[in-house]
Amino acid sequence: MARRTHHLTTRACADIANEANVRQLIAFHFSHRYERKRDDVYRELAGFTDRLAIPD
């Protein structure tokens, strides 16, 4: 589905951040499907990278 909607999966997003060796990954654009489930998305991202920064 991510490919069809031109969005990244949480794993792909985390993999890119890890490979790029970023200091912080700040997720800021969410599919409409997940706008009200941001905590779930952040929790999933945190399972793939320790670089996640969650905005207040």
Percent with pLDDT over 70 in the chain: 95
Tokens 């200091």, residue located: 23
Residue 2 per-residue DSSP state? H
Model pLDDT for residues 30-51, shown as the tens digit of each residue: 888 888 999 999 999 999 999 9
Query: What does the block give as tokens for 19?
Result: 């490979």
Name the pTM for this structure: 0.80
> Residue 30's pLDDT is what?
82
Question: Looking at this protein, which amino acid is placed at residue 41?
Answer: V
Phi, psi of 53 (to 5 degrees): -115, 120
Tokens 């920064």 -> residue? 53
Residues 15 and 52 sit within 8 Å (Cβ to Cβ): no
